[in-house]
């Protein structure tokens, strides 16, 4: 467990890929535990839950001790952000985090001939308005990219929905002959 010479535990920092691999393995192990019948399965789940709760408490205490600059750096780390969400202690409101993701994607979406706007977040569902310029091809690809980015960055969202862009403000084709016809008399029946 530890280095006998220093009696300190050894620690190897994992990169993001290794963390992802470990998280996938943990998900599988937890799924197996949940299906383990009897008192041993129940004890194992209670132990994991209790351990997670204590880690959450430690993480909350750590947040109380850090200065704002360090807190911002911590919040920029995807793994730390996910842990804060998991424990319900992320200090940045969900809607604000979703707005930041959308703002960060605005230029890329515009390059594909579209505009995106966050219209609301309710009960874990983000609603967005996507306006396409031109013929509207590629909407599905844009929607999927935005959906993936939001669900990754704001993991407590359960869904991302899109509403049609409002028709107001769009140019409407008016035939030239309609412009040349005299206006109808208000007294005609």
| d(C-alpha 143, C-alpha 76), whole Å | 24
Hey, what are 86's tokens? 């998991």
**CA Rg value for the chain:** 26
Options 3.30.300.130, 3.40.50.1580, 3.10.520.10, 3.40.1050.10; CATH of 94-164: 3.30.300.130
Contact 104, 137 (CB under 8 A): no
| pLDDT confidence of residue 169 | 39
| d(C-alpha 112, C-alpha 180), whole Å | 37
User: What is this structure's pTM?
Assistant: 0.63
Domain range list for the chain = 16-86, 94-164
pLDDT tens-digit readout, 157-177: 999 999 887 633 344 444 554
| d(C-alpha 18, C-alpha 172), whole Å | 54
| d(C-alpha 47, C-alpha 52), whole Å | 9
pLDDT tens-digit readout, 20-45: 899 889 989 999 989 999 999 999 99
């Amino acid at each position: 467990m530890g280095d006998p010479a220093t009696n300190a535990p050894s620690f190897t920092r994992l990169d993001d890929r290794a963390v992802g691999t470990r998280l996938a393995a943990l998900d599988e192990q937890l799924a197996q535990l949940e299906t383990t019948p009897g008192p041993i399965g129940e004890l194992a789940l209670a132990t994991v839950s209790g351990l997670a709760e204590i880690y959450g408490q430690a993480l909350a205490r750590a947040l109380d001790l850090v200065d704002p600059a360090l807190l911002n750096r911590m919040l920029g780390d995807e793994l730390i952000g996910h842990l804060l969400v998991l424990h319900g202690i992320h200090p940045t409101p969900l809607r604000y985090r979703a707005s930041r993701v959308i703002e960060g994607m605005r230029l890329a979406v515009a390059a594909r001939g579209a505009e995106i706007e966050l219209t609301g977040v309710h009960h874990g569902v983000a609603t967005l308005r996507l306006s396409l310029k031109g013929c509207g091809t590629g909407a599905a690809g844009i929607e999927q990219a935005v959906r993936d980015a939001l669900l990754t960055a704001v993991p407590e969202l359960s869904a991302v929905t899109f509403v049609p862009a409002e028709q107001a403000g769009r140019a409407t084709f008016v035939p030239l002959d309609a412009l040349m016809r005299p206006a109808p008399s208000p007294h005609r029946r």
